[in-house]
Copies of this chain bind each other. A is one copy, B any other.
């Protein structure tokens, strides 16, 4: 298994920098006082399509050679990766096909269609997703861009941490949420290559703690019947992601949904920014482990801001 290195992430940054938003690092005095730490929030909720996912999708699309690119890209996703890949393909002017479960919310279908991608619906099972995708690829010659278990996707996601560490080198820790592990693995490689003394931590909901258990067990333990408000963190770790995480991540912490809701509300109320539940897990973890993080300078990656305003958890 080929592991991305820092040169790959640097190349990704050069490749995508004219397409992605260079998002701000924000701080908040009240949250610093409450936590006893100095927290810098990397606002990927301000990224295109409202989530860090655009970085990886964009890098994957623009890393293709012209011939492969002209044949288009495909993925199965009903979430942020679907929109991200659709927009990246649109920017390169190539076709994209997204396999989506037929019970996906209308707002997500509309968003993907709005970026000009073709949607192929399937039954809402993993098996149907994969077989439908295989069929699409066989027919159209598309390149499959996996949402997280993909070399170029991981490199793209690592550019968020690169941007953080270009603004300041002296962080004690960087914390990212973990679902499939795309953001976390990219973050870990970028951070450890720039400064190995910076700790890389992951934050995961208790109701979907397969990454925590996998990390402790030393092998991938699949996510079975996850139960959490963090709709972006339900999947199992990818193989390449697990390989990177087990070597480069210092610790995985968990928080329960009440702690996550409370951290999310704190960010909305005090910072006046909209973050999705998955993005609140790192802050929940810091507030839960104050003695551990006291006095530290910490970067937290806010993964995205895509919430259904009609179904708020407050």
Q: What is the interface of chain A, defined by CB distance below 8 A to chain B?
A: 24, 45-46, 50, 265, 268-269, 271-275, 305, 309-310, 312, 314
Q: Output the residue of A45, A265, A272, A309 with the most chain B CB within 10 A.
A: A272
Contact B310 A314 (CB under 8 A): yes
Residue of B nearest to A309 (CB): B314
Contacts of A45 in B (CB 8 A): 272
Contacts of A265 in B (CB 8 A): 309
Contact of A272 among B269, B273, B312, B314 (CB under 8 A): B273
Contact of A46 among B272, B274, B309, B310 (CB under 8 A): B272
Residue of B nearest to A29 (CB): B48
User: What 7 additional pairs, Cβ within 8 angstroms, besides A45-B272, A46-B271, A273-B274?
Assistant: A24-B24, A50-B272, A265-B309, A272-B274, A273-B273, A309-B314, A310-B314
Bound CA span A312–B274, Å: 14
Copies in the assembly, this chain:
2
Residue of B nearest to A26 (CB): B46
Contacts of A305 in B (CB 8 A): 272
Bound CA span A265–B107, Å: 14
Minimum C-beta distance from A207 to chain B (A): 23
Bound CA span A41–B98, Å: 34
Contacts of A269 in B (CB 8 A): 309
Contact A268 B274 (CB under 8 A): yes
**What are 20 inter-chain pairs, A to B, with CB distance below 8 A?**
A24-B24, A45-B272, A46-B271, A46-B272, A50-B272, A265-B309, A268-B274, A268-B309, A269-B309, A272-B273, A272-B274, A272-B275, A272-B305, A273-B273, A273-B274, A274-B274, A309-B312, A309-B314, A310-B314, A312-B312
Minimum C-beta distance from A75 to chain B (A): 23
Bound CA span A243–B269, Å: 36
Contacts of A309 in B (CB 8 A): 265, 268-269, 312, 314
Minimum C-beta distance from A142 to chain B (A): 27
Minimum C-beta distance from A274 to chain B (A): 4
Residue of B nearest to A45 (CB): B272
Residue of B nearest to A271 (CB): B46
Bound CA span A50–B45, Å: 20
Minimum C-beta distance from A26 to chain B (A): 8
Bound CA span A225–B312, Å: 32
Bound CA span A50–B272, Å: 8
Contacts of A310 in B (CB 8 A): 314
Bound CA span A239–B149, Å: 65
Minimum C-beta distance from A168 to chain B (A): 18
Bound CA span A272–B274, Å: 5
**Nearest 4 CB-CB pairings of A with B:** A272-B305, A272-B274, A45-B272, A309-B314
Contacts of A268 in B (CB 8 A): 274, 309
Minimum C-beta distance from A237 to chain B (A): 27
